[in-house]
Amino acid sequence: MNKSRELRLARRMERLGTETAFEVLVKARALETKGRDIVHLEIGEPDFDTPANIIDAGCDALHKGFTHYGPSAGLPQLREVIAQYVSETRRVNVSPEEVVVVPGGKPIIFFSILALAEEDDEVIYPNPGFPIYESMINYVGAKAVPIRLREEMDFRLDVDELGGLINDRTKLIILNSPQNPTGGMLTKIDIERIAAAIGGRNVMILSDEIYSRLIFEGEHHSIMSIDGMKDRTILLDGFSKTYAMTGWRMGYGVMPVDLATHVARLMTNSNSCTASFSQIAGVEALRGPQESVDKMCAEFEKRRDVMVAGLNKIKGFSCRLPKGAFYVFPNTTKTGWPSKKLADALLDEAGVAALSGTAFGDFGEGYLRFSVANSIENIEKAIERIDKWTKENL
Ligand SMILES: Cc1ncc(COP(=O)(O)O)c(C=O)c1O
């Protein structure tokens, strides 16, 4: 009898996408082990250390015995602090029962889509946008409906176009501001017009505000703050970007209580709970001194300026000044190279790791994404290398 094993995956796995940043990181590291010097501008995580007061709180929590399971929706003390923080920053009344703490911001995307969308439903999402949205919408068998973000609109979405995409099958609309990968930001008027376009329809909004504290120009506006919208909003925020805590795995969603119980049930079925000591560190992050956030943001702004000015001097590149987050998204159509081929060549031949705009959806063609989570010295090195490469190859 032939006992050879054949992998028989569930068909839905064919529909699950991925996040290219991790693949490019692996490829770049492989080149480094062969002795190549690579400037890493591919990965979306702050290069700063978690502030010391937060690390101390986490260590202290471990010593005090926060090493056990906790409630699936999060420790009450953290849910309370998050409810206060969101109430203040979004000028709404949030109760701890509306908060679900999860390991990172990503699970809120995963759980919201899993809980709400299925076959015959449509989900509208930004494109170019964080790739996990499209991946998850496809995974659950719903129809992924992209709303194109256009450079000429500074990568804000066109609300009239959004209005034209909403129909009776629309179950969920995903917003992301400040935006990954473009750094675009929705204005107060945009948000008000989006709320008006949704009108009285029974549609939920997933508002991904993970970069809400990394803003260089203007103010953050949340659709949750608009009269009548809180009941229809799932707010996603977290600790990864704001407090340089990517490895602690800490994020949260704020949503109507009836949905929160189901999302907590998904937590029970998957992770049981978020790490207890991480949650105690999260209390310190939100309650403790905030200077480190401002310092980090000011540093990202300086780097953004150096990167954008440098890219704009390179043949074939043109780059807008992003208003938030820590990415720049230059237009590279004038190089004549498709984005993926260009990103591969820059890694292989120039030693600069960046992402193809197409890693963020089809409408990312003609762009590259550079993260500025690296030192000014390394950003300048990257600019020099790209400049030299373009002079030799274009
Ligand atoms: C737009 C957006 N949402 C969510 C996340 C997920 O963050 P976390 O690492 O907290 O899961 C990211 C991370 O890159 C992101 O860019």
Query: Which one is predicted more confidently, 46 or 249?
Result: 249
**103 CB within 6 A, ligand 1:** no
Q: Which atom of ligand 1 is least distant from the CA of 325?
A: 16
Geometric angle at alpha carbon 289, from 322 and 370, rounded to 5°:
25
Distance 375 CA to ligand 1 centre (A): 21
Distance 390 CA to ligand 1 centre (A): 32
**249 CB within 6 A, ligand 1:** no
Looking at 9-13, 41-45, 244-248, 276-280, which range is the least confident one? 41-45
pLDDT at 177 over 70: yes
The rounded distance, in Å, linking the Cα atoms of 332 and 312 is 10
Q: Which atom of ligand 1 is least distant from the CA of 130?
A: 1
Question: For the residues 17-37, what does the mean pLDDT come to?
Answer: 93
**Which of 149, 209, 240, 271 best tests ligand 1's pocket when mutated (most atoms within 8 Å of CB)?**
240
pLDDT in tens, 130-160: 999 999 999 999 999 999 999 999 999 999 9
Q: Whose CA is nearest to atom 14 of ligand 1?
A: 44
**180 CB within 6 A, ligand 1:** yes
pLDDT at 44 over 90: no
pLDDT at 20 over 90: no
* 3-state SS, one letter per residue, for the chain: CCCCCCCCCCHHHHHCCCCHHHHHHHHHHHHHHCCCCCEECCCCCCCCCCCHHHHHHHHHHHHCCCCCCCCCCCCHHHHHHHHHHHHHHHCCCCCHHHEEEECCCHHHHHHHHHHHCCCCCEEEEEECCCHHHHHHHHHCCCEEEEEEECHHHCCCECHHHHHHHCCCCEEEEEEECCCCCCCCCCCHHHHHHHHHHHCCCCCEEEEECCCCCCECCCCCCCHHHCCCCHHHEEEEEECCCCCCCHHHCCEEEECCHHHHHHHHHHHHHHCCCCCHHHHHHHHHHHHCCCHHHHHHHHHHHHHHHHHHHHHHCCCCCECCCCCECCEECCECHHHCCCHHHHHHHHHHHHCEECEEHHHHCHHHCCEEEEECCCCHHHHHHHHHHHHHHHHHHC
Q: Which atom of ligand 1 is least distant from the CA of 129?
A: 1
Decide: 370 and 43 in contact? Cβ < 8 Å.
Answer: no
Q: Whose CA is nearest to atom 13 of ligand 1?
A: 44
Query: What is the pLDDT, as a whole number, of residue 43?
Result: 87
Distance 244 CA to ligand 1 centre (A): 12
**105 CB within 6 A, ligand 1:** yes
pLDDT in tens, 69-100: 999 999 999 999 999 999 999 999 999 999 99
Question: For the residues 296-307, what does the mean pLDDT come to?
Answer: 97
Label residue 261 by pLDDT band (50, 70, 90): very high
Decide: 81 and 286 in contact? Cβ < 8 Å.
Answer: yes
Q: Which atom of ligand 1 is least distant from the CA of 240?
A: 10
- Name the percent of the chain lying above pLDDT 70: 99
- φ and ψ at residue 246, rounded to 5 degrees: -55, -35
pLDDT at 382 over 70: yes
Label residue 231 by pLDDT band (50, 70, 90): very high
Residue listed under structure tokens 């001097």: 313
Q: Whose CA is nearest to atom 16 of ligand 1?
A: 180
pTM: 0.97
Q: Which atom of ligand 1 is least distant from the CA of 239?
A: 10
Which residues are within 8 A (CB) of 341 and not within 5 positions of it... i.e. 6 or more apart?
none
Four-point Cα dihedral 299, 206, 107, 284, nearest 10: 50
Q: Which atom of ligand 1 is least distant from the CA of 19?
A: 14
Label residue 2 by pLDDT band (50, 70, 90): low
- Name the percent of the chain lying above pLDDT 90: 96
pLDDT in tens, 311-369: 999 999 999 999 999 999 999 999 999 999 999 999 999 999 999 999 999 999 999 99
**208 CB within 6 A, ligand 1:** yes
Distance 316 CA to ligand 1 centre (A): 30
pLDDT at 289 over 90: yes
pLDDT in tens, 178-197: 999 999 999 999 999 999 99
**Which of 113, 174, 241 best tests ligand 1's pocket when mutated (most atoms within 8 Å of CB)?**
241
Query: What is the pLDDT, as a whole number, of residue 1?
Result: 59
Query: What is the pLDDT, as a whole number, of residue 233?
Result: 98
Task: Please enumerate, as own/partner, the contacts of 81-89 that have beta carbons within 8 Å and a separation of 24 or more.
Answer: 81/282, 81/283, 81/286, 81/287, 82/252, 82/254, 82/282, 82/286, 83/254, 85/286, 86/224, 86/235, 86/237, 86/254, 89/212, 89/220, 89/222
Query: What is the pLDDT, as a whole number, of residue 185?
Result: 97
